[in-house]
Structure 1
Amino acid sequence: MTVTEQLSALDNILAHGDLHSVFQPIVSLSQRSILGYEALTRGPSNSPLHSPINLFAIARQAGRLSELELACRESACKRFNQLGLSGKLFLNISPDSLMEPDHKPGCTLKMLQTHGIAPSNVVIELTEHSPTHDFQLLDTALHHYRAMGFNIALDDLGAGYSSLRLWSELRPDFVKIDRHFIDGIHLDPVKREFVGSILKMASASHAEVIAEGIELGEEFDVLANMGVDLLQGYYICRPQDQPPRDAGTILPREDSTADHASEASGGLQELLHPQKAIRQHTTTCQVLDAFRADSTLNTLAVLDDQDQPIGIVHRHSLSEALLKPFAAEIFTRKPISRLMSEDYLRVEMSQSLQQVSRLLTSRARQRIEEDFIITQNGRYAGLGRAMDLLKLITDEKIQQARYANPLTQLPGNVPIQKRLSKALSEPREALICYVDIDHFKPFNE
């Protein structure tokens, strides 16, 4: 198809709105829930511009990128509303279109209002295809979106021309690691180091990391064990016209991602404090009475009517909030849901100590004395304490050092015997491989 024919096809697509939106879920591993969906656009199925690569390339060449992106947003919002999807809607927008002189501010907000979508449920996902030079202009454009309640995500981190500087300048709410660093991460220690560095930088900048482009179970397992909580890719779910609503139908079974350490430690059972929770309609006055009655009580989980955690109340945070002028008079008789924090760590009972430790340390806003919520199959089970977690992991490391071979760090006779005894006592099949290496003693010495 010639360029002229492609331009003509683009004219027809934009004139008739002949675009189709599909959605790929982004899942939270710790909460086993769907955070939201990335909207992806396809052209007419019988057109050479069906592929988004061809479609956006010809639009950029024709100087109609902003027009195409606006049409894509319209299609995505309309379809998102028709499907009744919940969670966040991730919309791809290029910095180029935001900084075009004829870019019309306010169109996206009006579009969302038409389709009944709150701006707080929308993430503007910046995809960089060419160098960004005017960071101040881009920041001004994004400030306009932030002021209306939108979140910002930086796509393809590590692949763009200036993605690290964009991160530093724009301070996005989400960063998506480029597929290159996910591909074969289980075989490449350098890629694991890169992702580890991203997690540390995200913690410092209060951003959440999304690993996209996961295509293999081995990649999924490595990322999960590294503490990456938000995941996206073909291994979990391909982009679909009718995307799933329940993460449980697309995530691997929880025991398939657990570390071997969780087998030894019995999951989080040792950390669980079956602390009674409160309902979202409980008044602030009643919560204050509960804290006054028990000086050892530091945290209360807030549940909805289905015993699902929706927030958390820390003693020190509540005290600080009520110290503000007129706060006590305003909030004392109001539901605690008005003052609870929705920014908390929630983990499943089946997760390993190492996974929870990584999630805990990746949260810059998590104070060491703050408790976290533990759930069993999504329902509230109790609270966990960071200090208890650190103690258990320290004890486990000491135990491993005591029973490991000092040279190879492989398990010694004691843990091997314990593991064999455990395998024999369980009502399931087990495979055992015995390897005897001749003349190894000289190497060992």
Structure 2
Amino acid sequence: MDTAMTEVTSPRRAAQMTVGDVITGRLVRPVFQPIVDLAGGGVVGLEALARGPAGTALEFPDRLFDAARAAGRLGDLDQLCAERALEVAVDAAVQPPMLFVNAEPAVVDQPISTRIAELVVAGLPFREVLEFTERALPTVPGSMLRLAGLTRAFGHAVALDDVGVDPMSLAFLPILEPEVIKLDLSLIRDPASAATARVSAVVRAQAARTGARIIAEGIETAADLAVARDLGAHWGQGWHFARPGPIDGPGHRYDPEAAAVLPAPPSTFHERPGSPFTATATSGPTFAADSMSIATALDRLHGMLARDPDVIVFAVEPAGTCPELPVSLHDLLGRARSVYIRDRPFPDEFAVVLLGAGYGFGMCVRTRPELEIRHLDQLPAVAEVARVMLAA
């Protein structure tokens, strides 16, 4: 059942409409834009986009979300937008194979609303794809991973949006390990640049490793479509196919098998192992260590940072004193663009990993019962340690 109230359309009421009125009256209007298979032309899913009451100053999303932010109601509005998108899609005469729903980065740490929980627990007749923008990566990575884990626990999927705007998003790709990667429209507009080539290469490698689908956004012309294919996109989105509109508007030719193309959710993504050392137990041999071998490993990481300033460092220092370890990381951390230090040490462990665009290196040290080191050269293992450090 559609639970939105009827919009008030009188000119006076429209001029006085506040974001509080929109939230209380559930007056958000979802519109939907198709995502199209570039090979077969079928519609694989719809992205839900929010609109405020028609004819009011809050009709368009930029003004609506700015007003919610100013009023301290951004979380309420974000939840309402997701609720309305799910409700309308559930009630549609024909449901899409997938529904893409955006998560506002500033409020992904809030609890999920009762209404969203009801809809998800009851069982959605489509696969939901929760979209995170790369703006969420540096601000709330731990909350983002928790929400991604919960989404996947119910059999749904996650997407990383706007990939290519900030080089840091490439370093975060293996941490989130999204089922869908959305290329920012700026790549379509500047296909010959070195930056576009770098992003495309890293995204292609990630998709080949995990089975993720690549979406190109901003396809407006036949030329854009050709560029999207050259960049490795499987699916596309933009005005070349359709503008946002009602869910039952243009009569989409859905591909019923589309949701099955996405990789299955990682079975243990939401169940983080206890520590970096246990998380990498199958990632390589463990060696006896001493202060010199650990210092040599740290020097190697220093060298990595000197070559790539966009690297992110994740570190955790040992609890208490451990005089045989060279654990001063100030020089290392000062070279990185971004640093995440876990403030709760793991007992008897010390770890540091670096993640760049398409690669990662690191080490884990265990101090008891013997001093041991494990070198990390494979990207999946490095990403796993980063997830462990970000977990609550």
2:218 alignment counterpart: 213
Partners of 1:45 and 1:182 lie apart in 2 by 31
Partners of 1:160 and 1:191 lie apart in 2 by 12
Tell me, yes or no, if structure 1 residue 198 matches structure 2 residue 198. no
Q: Cα–Cα, structure 1 residues 81 and 137, in superposed 2: closer, same or farther, change >3 Å?
A: closer
Output one character per residue of 1:123-160: Cα deviation in whole Å (capped at 9) or x when no partner: 11113446634423331232122111120011111225
2:44 alignment counterpart: 35
Three-state SS of the structure 2 residue aligned to 1:132 is: helix
Contact 1:22 1:39 in 2 (8 A): yes
With normalisation by structure 2, the TM-score equals: 0.56
Equivalent position amino acid for 2:98 in 1: K
Partners of 1:181 and 1:164 lie apart in 2 by 14
Q: 5+ unaligned residues in a row in structure 1: which ranges?
A: 249-307, 312-341, 345-445
Tell me, yes or no, if structure 1 residue 61 matches structure 2 residue 70. yes
1:151 alignment counterpart: 157
Q: Cα–Cα, structure 1 residues 226 and 29, in superposed 2: closer, same or farther, change >3 Å?
A: same
Partners of 1:227 and 1:96 lie apart in 2 by 31
Output one character per residue of 1:329-354: Cα deviation in whole Å (capped at 9) or x when no partner: xxxxxxxxxxxxx559xxxxxxxxxx
Q: Cα–Cα, structure 1 residues 112 and 343, in superposed 2: closer, same or farther, change >3 Å?
A: closer
Partners of 1:60 and 1:82 lie apart in 2 by 30
Q: Cα–Cα, structure 1 residues 106 and 128, in superposed 2: closer, same or farther, change >3 Å?
A: farther
2:236 alignment counterpart: 231
Three-state SS of the structure 1 residue aligned to 2:145 is: helix
Question: Aligned match of 2:112 in 80, 104, 110?
Answer: 104
1:88 alignment counterpart: 98
2:355 alignment counterpart: none
Identity of aligned residues (%): 28
- The CA deviation at 1:14 is 0.6
- The CA deviation at 1:197 is 3.5
Partners of 1:93 and 1:6 lie apart in 2 by 29
Contact 2:137 2:172 in 1 (8 A): no
Partners of 2:143 and 2:221 lie apart in 1 by 39
Q: Cα–Cα, structure 1 residues 222 and 159, in superposed 2: closer, same or farther, change >3 Å?
A: closer
Partners of 2:244 and 2:134 lie apart in 1 by 21
Three-state SS of the structure 2 residue aligned to 1:237 is: coil
With normalisation by structure 1, the TM-score equals: 0.50
Partners of 2:169 and 2:219 lie apart in 1 by 20
Partners of 1:200 and 1:47 lie apart in 2 by 45
- How many residues are aligned here? 248
Three-state SS of the structure 2 residue aligned to 1:220 is: helix
Q: Cα–Cα, structure 1 residues 221 and 170, in superposed 2: closer, same or farther, change >3 Å?
A: same
2:124 alignment counterpart: 117
**Structure number with higher relative contact order (C-alpha < 8 Å, ≥ 6 residues apart):** 2
Tell me, yes or no, if structure 1 residue 164 matches structure 2 residue 170. yes
- The CA deviation at 1:89 is 0.5
Equivalent position amino acid for 2:183 in 1: I
1:366 alignment counterpart: none
Contact 1:29 1:224 in 2 (8 A): yes
Contact 1:156 1:176 in 2 (8 A): yes
Partners of 1:34 and 1:152 lie apart in 2 by 18
Contact 2:79 2:112 in 1 (8 A): no
Equivalent position amino acid for 1:42 in 2: R
Contact 1:6 1:58 in 2 (8 A): no
Q: Cα–Cα, structure 1 residues 6 and 72, in superposed 2: closer, same or farther, change >3 Å?
A: farther
Equivalent position amino acid for 1:238 in 2: R
Question: Aligned match of 1:136 in 124, 139, 142?
Answer: 142
Three-state SS of the structure 1 residue aligned to 2:138 is: coil
Partners of 2:195 and 2:59 lie apart in 1 by 36
Equivalent position amino acid for 2:109 in 1: M
Q: Cα–Cα, structure 1 residues 46 and 95, in superposed 2: closer, same or farther, change >3 Å?
A: same
Q: Cα–Cα, structure 1 residues 6 and 131, in superposed 2: closer, same or farther, change >3 Å?
A: farther
For 1:7-406, list aligned pairs within 5 A. 9-83=18-92, 84-100=94-110, 103-104=111-112, 107-112=115-120, 117-118=124-125, 121-129=127-135, 132-159=138-165, 162-185=168-191, 191-192=196-197, 194-241=199-246, 242-247=248-253, 343=261
Partners of 2:190 and 2:18 lie apart in 1 by 38
Partners of 1:112 and 1:29 lie apart in 2 by 30
Partners of 2:176 and 2:184 lie apart in 1 by 18
Equivalent position amino acid for 2:146 in 1: T
Partners of 2:54 and 2:15 lie apart in 1 by 14
